[in-house]
Every structure is written in structure tokens, then in C-alpha cells.
Structure 1
Amino acid sequence: MLNVCVERRVQREALGKRKQQQKQIELSEDEDEDEDEEEDESEFYDCDEATSASVSPTKAVLNLKPEGRLKRLGDERLLDEPDEFLYIPETQEPVPKTEDQLHDDAEVMLKLGPGSDLSTQMMCTSLMSDMEAFKAANPRGKMEDFIRWYSPKDWEEVQHDGGEPKHQLSVRMTTEGNTWQKVWQRAQAVPIARQRRLFDDTNEALKVLHYLETRNMSEIYGLTIIPTLHTAILKLIDIYSNAHVEDLFAPHIEQLLGDLCRLSRSHSNDQPNVRVLLDELAELERRFYQYKCFERLAGYPKRSSLEEVKRQFDEILRNENSCTIVDKKRGAAGDMTMGSGGSLYDILSPKLEQDISNRLISKDYVIRLDGDTQSSEKGLYLGPQFMRAIITGDKLRLCGAFTESTTFV
């Protein structure tokens, strides 16, 4: 909620600056036009007093100036004024609410009941704002015009006896005591520039800050750990996007977001256990830097393309940090071209390519036996056995652990 308040305030201040600059430009243009007109009038003619009073006051009142228009609603026109188009007004954004605020509102609505004036006012605050904005953008519009834009499903097509199809309001909108009708009658033509804000970002932000000030450290941790982890995941997604590797890690990110969502909706009074989620997040970050190292190892972008590097690294991820250096089914590595999507051998840097060709870097052989093996000698039970051989170039190293049960010897 605090982030939303800050974002709304920044947007509002930026919009106010743009409007102020636009007004200054318009005023400067009007001053230039007035100066030109004064020069023309003084040079050619005097103003006729009769022309200034020729407009009827009644006609001026009826000729309302539309305000707050966003765009036209296709080719739709007003029902009572076929020559005028129907315009979509500029409206206020919906009021953002947290889950606890929605829960509190639902409890209040249940206590007040459906016929209460207060419950109707709570539900219709946004509707009143939209109706006033619509009346300001369409001064000659009627409620049917508003419904055509705001709730098209309530503008039904009916077939009369004459056979010609016509449209009318739905039964929901024409019942006696309909809330929409009452709100429409009370609504005035007021654009959003002169409306009271539905969402006061300043007061809401102060409420959030005051709430945090009255919490202890344990409660603040419980309130902020989930948003903090979500921010960390979004930051990681941004890093993946900048490196153009979001497709490699997309399944892991989706799983991480799902785990975080389930954790945030837990109704337990205990502090959320985020250790597993932190480990997964650290693993994703480690894998990304592994990819960057592998990308440099593969000589990107001079010796290999991004798709080839991503394909090889995806194989490494799927095979638990193992990959095929030479694809024996396709023959020798040197027979393949870079454009055909070669093996890892084809895209390695020249320095490592020569090393791998001339000498073996390292290879391990491991033999393990469990402790259930019974010796051929009567009464002798062998324990777990382990032997490992490590070959590096011309060197061979052996190590092992051999045990036996001596209980019955």
C-alpha cells in the first residue's frame, strides 16, 4: 500500500506539472493572438457593441462546454442528439485496497445490510465519480448513454411486434428504487479535475506509517518479509530480462512465485518459515552467475551465438551440472559447423579447446557397496565399502574406506 501511495503521488505531481506547462503555453499563445487582434482593430475598425450582446443568455446556459473527454466511443452517438458523438470520459482510477481492508469492508456491509444508506454510499462512491465525469464529457447525454458505455450488458436488444429490433435498459436498471437511477439523479456534471479524490494517497500513506510505528520488531518482520522477498524475485527477473535468459529460468521463477504466494496466504500465527525459499532464491542467483561464466567460456558473442550458449547451459541444468562435450551420434566435433547447433566442444574457447584435445582434465571412478553383503566365510559380515579413483592427466590417486563387522569373530 505504501508503494502504491508513493506511485500515485508521483504520477499526480507529474500530471500537474504537464498541465501547468500546457497552460503556460496556451496563455503565451493567447497573448500573442490578443496583441495581433488589437493591432488589427486599431488599424481597420472599431468593435460593434451590438455584436457582443447578440448571444442569448438562455442559449449560453444550455450550450454547456464538455470537459474531461478521453476519446470517442467508436462511432456511437447520443440517443437524444444523433449529431453528437458519445465520448468516454476521463475517470479516476479504482481505489486500491489491501486484503485486510477488503475483509473489513465485507464485515461492515454484512452488519449494515443491503438496504442501508451507508452501505449504498460505500458501494456507489466510484459509480458517482464515473457518472459525474460522464455528464461533464457528454452534457446532453442521458442514463441510457451512460449504460451503453459503462455496462453494455444492461443495454439489451428486444424484438417488438413490428419486427424492427430496438434497444432498452435491462430489468435490473428499470426496477423501482434502482440504485443506479438514484445515483444518476444526484450526479452533477463534474470532471475529475474538480472532483474530490477517491483515493487520498497522502492520508493512506500516513496511516501505513503510523501503523508501522506502533508495531514491535517481530510484527514488522512478519509484515515486511513477504514483500521483501517478492521484491527480490522481481529484481532477479529484471536481471534475467536484461541478460535475455528469462526463458531458461522461467519454470524456476514461476515455482518460486507460487511458493511465495502460498506462504503469504498462510493463516498461521507463527512467523513464516522462509529458509527454504531463501535457499531457492540463492540457488537461482548462483545459477545465473554460472551462466555468465559459461557464456564467457563459450566465447560469446565472437565464437558462438546466444541460442547455442543457452541450449548448452539448459542441458547442464537438466542433467544436474553435466553435459555432452562431443555428440558421438553426429560424428567428430570438428565435422559440425557453428550454425547447425554443435556440441559443447564446438563452442569452447580456443585455449580450452586445445587443452581438452591434448589431455584429460579429470575423471572420477567410484565403487560403493552397502553393509548387507555377507562374506562366504561363516560368521563374517562385511560393512560398507567405498573406493574412489581420480585420474588427472598422467596421475592416478586412490582412496578408500573398508569396514567389517567383528562382533562374531
Structure 2
Amino acid sequence: MGVAPGYPDTRTCLLHQKLQLLNVCVERRLQHELIGKRKKQQIQQQQSASDETEDEDESEFFDCDEPASRSTSSSPLKAVLSIKPEGRLKRLANERLLDEPDEYLYIPETQEPVPKTEDQLQDDAEVMLKLGPGSGLSTQMMCNSLMSDMEAFKAANPRAKIDDFIRWYSPKDWIEVHDETGQTRHQLSVRMTTEGNTWQKVWQQAQPVPVSRQRRLFDDTNEALKLLHYLETRNMSEIYALTIVPILHTAVLKLIDLQSNARVTDLFSTHIEQLLSDLCRLSRAPADEQLNVQPLLDDIAELERRFYQYKCFERLAGYPKRSSQAQVKQQFEEILKHENCCTIVNKKQAAAGDSSLCDILSPKLEQDISNCLISKDYIIRLDADAQAKEKGQNYGPQFMRAIVTGDKLRLCGAFTESTTFV
């Protein structure tokens, strides 16, 4: 069925996640190469345009207004206002900056989330658990993506403050309150205003850097090399752990495909759901635990055997020329419910219902009984008699079995008597 597109899906097996991550690395690399080619073409076009106008501008000179430039650089406020917005994606509806009501709030271009497989997420969680919540490295691991987004937001909205960022990035922390006069206003949540808040620290450290000049959070080349090295260095037991679940899932899908083509999916849907549930539970077993796949293999083999039993029964019932599939299904459902046993009703004795399938099966069964060797078992069991116990006679359970095969008769029995030792 191939590998599903997109980021690694943690609901799937680890091997599928690894292949998804490899696809993401390849896609990112192709995107970077395409962007690089476009930039190179733009630079070449700009250079060719500048070469054409170079001769015309050689005799032109412009004086720089030094006092104005000095005054601008000496004033921090004017320096901030002179920053040109970069990396804007689109406006955030009709929202405006809190300190600049005349300027709209823009959503910045941001880096895509870092794709990770299930084992990588688990490793990150273990590292953060060992480092503890107060560790600087733990905070850095959590805030790399946040820092990137804050820098992109500052580049797109030079006059914004953290309240504007929270309105876009985490609207749930921009809460509505009522003051003493009953007027409604908005403010940051307690989580964002507590002392030592990580968001406040990161905002103070973030610089206005658009996403085009930021360091990449996800290095597709290194991740692809790590992934290939991981796959190349697996031993046989690790390869088995990676592939056994996909192989079993493929077997189940093959059975589903067979049943779908035969239009008997409804007969085995309960068994299929149970198989998929057991397979999902098996895939979630701890990595250091040895997988016991034998019960699942037995269930798959049993389901396959039952399907081909149905196909044989379908042919025996004369489908499709002499019987309908609904009749065959109904009779086979009885076989499944009663452990390979079913009742063939004589049409003359049937009070109601369609017994056309019985007319088809009965002659064939009678012919098989007369021509084929059939064995019948008769079993007689007798438990201890309560009245005999009252009379002081302690008899144990009695058992007799008779096996009739053609003209031969075999008998076997087990007869016991309770003995009291004094």
C-alpha cells in the first residue's frame, strides 16, 4: 500500500514512521534546492539589470545627510520605527496592534514543526525528565520552536509587544475580564504573567529575524543520514521487531481483500476487528519485551481456514446457479455459531421459510452417507446416584463410548467405584 505522505504518524508502526520521516527529509531537500535555484535566477536577473544601468549612473553622485543619520541612530524609538517589516504571510483578520491602533497585526512566515518519530519523542521525554524542569538545557529544548516563532513575529510586526504575540500564538491566554465599572477588557492570563515566566524570558531574548534568515530547526540532511545509519545497523532481532507487525498487518489486509472480493465481509467482521485490536496491542508492547505472536498467527490461520470452508460450502450449495448468496450466508452463520454444526431441515417437515437450500444439500449428503465412510460416536455418561448414596452405596461416575465406522463397532468404558479406607 506504500508509505502514507506527511509527518510520521505515531499511530502506525515504527518502521512506517521511519520511512515517513525519510520522505519528509527528501521533500525538504528538494524544496531547498528549488528555492536556491529561484534565488540564483533572481540574483542573475538583478545583476544583468544593474549592468545595463551602470553606465548611466556613473556620473551621478548623492550626498549623505549626516546629521539626519546621526539623529536617527541616536534615538532608539526612531531606530525601532525605521525597521522595515519582513516575512509577513497575511493579516490576522482585522486585528490591530495594541500600542499602534493604526497598524494591522500580521501573521508571520514561520518554520514548519520538527517531524519526529515515536522513539525520538520518547528519548526527548526521558532527557527532559532526567534534566528536570529547572534545567537550562531542558528549557532550550522546549523553546527552540517558540524562539523561532517569536523572532519571525517581531520581524513581521516591529512595533508589537508580547501581548500581541499571545493574541495570535495562544489565544486562550488572552482572556476577557470585567473591571470594577463593569467594562470589558482583555489581559494576559496568570500563566503568562507569573514571575520568571519562560515566555517573557524568550520574548526578551528574541530578535526580529525573518524565517528566511533563521537557522533551520530541522536539518533534513543530517536527519536523513541518521535515519539511514539507524536502518543499516539493525541486527536480526531488531529487524524482526521492526517488521513482524507490518507483516502480520499485511496478512490481515490480504484476508480482508479476499473477503471483500467474495462479498462476505459481514460474516467475518467481528473476527477481523478482534485481530486488528490484538495487532494494535501487540505493536504497543515495550521495546524490551519479547513479542508473543503465536496466538495471533493461530487466529489468522483459523480465519483463513474458515473463509475457505465458506468457499467450499458455497460450491456445495450450488451457488450461484441453484442457490443465492443470502441463503448460503445464513446457513454458514449457523455453522460458525454452533462450532461447525448446522441443521438441515426437510422441506416436508418445515413449517415455514425457504428450504430450497435443504433440497440441494440433502441429496448430496445422503449420497455421501451411502458411499463414503462415516464414523459416529455415542457417549453415555452417568454421575453418582444420590439415592445410591442414601442407601450407603458409593458409586463413582460411569462412562461408556461406542464408535461405529461402517460395519465395525468399538466400545470403550471407564467404570469407577468409591472406596472408603478405614
Scaled by the length of structure 2, the TM-score of the pair is: 0.60
Structure 1 counterpart of 2:249? 234
Structure 2 counterpart of 1:331? 353
Q: CA deviation at 1:299?
A: 4.0
Structure 1 counterpart of 2:401? 385
Q: CA deviation at 1:149?
A: 3.9
Local SS of the residue matching 1:95: coil
Change over 3 Å in CA distance of 1:88–1:370 after alignment to 2: farther
Which structure has the greater CA radius of gyration? Answer: 2
Measure, in 2, the Cα distance between the counterparts of 1:160 and 1:287.
72
Structure 1 counterpart of 2:145? 126
Local SS of the residue matching 1:402: strand
The unaligned stretches of length 5 or more in structure 2 are: 1-13, 70-78, 385-394, 418-422
Q: CA deviation at 1:292?
A: 6.5
Q: CA deviation at 1:321?
A: 4.3
Matched AA of 1:386: A
1:157 aligns with 2:176: yes
Counting only pairs closer than 5 Å after superposition, residues 6-405 of structure 1 correspond to structure 2 as 6-17=19-30, 62-66=83-87, 69=89, 79=98, 80=100, 83-86=104-107, 89-98=110-119, 101-102=123-124, 104-109=126-131, 113-135=132-154, 141-188=160-207, 189-191=209-211, 194-198=214-218, 200-205=222-227, 208-209=230-231, 212=234, 220-221=236-237, 223-239=238-254, 242=257, 244=260, 249-260=268-279, 271-288=290-307, 298-299=319-320, 316-321=335-340, 331-333=353-355, 345=357, 356=361, 358-360=363-365, 362=368, 366-370=376-380, 372=382, 384-388=400-404, 397=406, 400-404=409-413
Measure, in 2, the Cα distance between the counterparts of 1:285 and 1:59.
73
Contact 1:132–1:190 (CA<8 Å) still a contact in 2?
A: yes
Measure, in 2, the Cα distance between the counterparts of 1:145 and 1:241.
53
Matched AA of 1:278: L
Matched AA of 2:244: L
Change over 3 Å in CA distance of 1:367–1:2 after alignment to 2: closer
Local SS of the residue matching 2:234: helix
Contact 1:90–1:192 (CA<8 Å) still a contact in 2?
A: no
Measure, in 2, the Cα distance between the counterparts of 1:291 and 1:185.
71
- Stretch of structure 1 that moved more, 178-187 or 144-153: 144-153
Contact 1:66–1:138 (CA<8 Å) still a contact in 2?
A: no
Measure, in 2, the Cα distance between the counterparts of 1:136 and 1:63.
8
Measure, in 1, the Cα distance between the counterparts of 2:93 and 2:335.
53
The unaligned stretches of length 5 or more in structure 1 are: 36-40, 214-219, 335-344, 346-352, 390-396
Contact 1:136–1:190 (CA<8 Å) still a contact in 2?
A: yes
Contact 2:192–2:200 (CA<8 Å) still a contact in 1?
A: yes
Local SS of the residue matching 1:65: coil
Q: CA deviation at 1:170?
A: 0.8
Q: CA deviation at 1:62?
A: 2.7
Q: CA deviation at 1:14?
A: 2.9
Contact 2:399–2:413 (CA<8 Å) still a contact in 1?
A: yes
Change over 3 Å in CA distance of 1:73–1:373 after alignment to 2: same
Q: CA deviation at 1:196?
A: 2.4
Contact 1:133–1:192 (CA<8 Å) still a contact in 2?
A: no
Give the total of aligned pairs: 357
Change over 3 Å in CA distance of 1:95–1:238 after alignment to 2: same
Q: CA deviation at 1:157?
A: 1.0
Q: CA deviation at 1:169?
A: 1.0
Per-residue displacement from partner, 1:152-209 (whole Å, max 9, x unpaired)?
3222111123433222111111122211111223334342895323475235425634
Q: CA deviation at 1:66?
A: 1.9
Matched AA of 2:147: M
Measure, in 2, the Cα distance between the counterparts of 1:197 and 1:15.
12
Change over 3 Å in CA distance of 1:150–1:398 after alignment to 2: farther
Local SS of the residue matching 1:128: helix
Matched AA of 2:274: Q
Identity within the alignment, % = 37
Change over 3 Å in CA distance of 1:225–1:279 after alignment to 2: farther
Structure 2 counterpart of 1:337? none
Structure 1 counterpart of 2:74? none
Matched AA of 2:22: R
Measure, in 1, the Cα distance between the counterparts of 2:298 and 2:30.
45
Per-residue displacement from partner, 1:206-255 (whole Å, max 9, x unpaired)?
56347635xxxxxx42x444443321243245435656476655543443
Q: CA deviation at 1:90?
A: 4.9
Measure, in 2, the Cα distance between the counterparts of 1:88 and 1:291.
59
Matched AA of 2:234: L
Measure, in 2, the Cα distance between the counterparts of 1:61 and 1:191.
20
Measure, in 1, the Cα distance between the counterparts of 2:31 and 2:333.
48
Change over 3 Å in CA distance of 1:281–1:170 after alignment to 2: same
Contact 2:105–2:157 (CA<8 Å) still a contact in 1?
A: no
Matched AA of 2:87: P
Contact 2:128–2:138 (CA<8 Å) still a contact in 1?
A: no
Local SS of the residue matching 1:212: coil
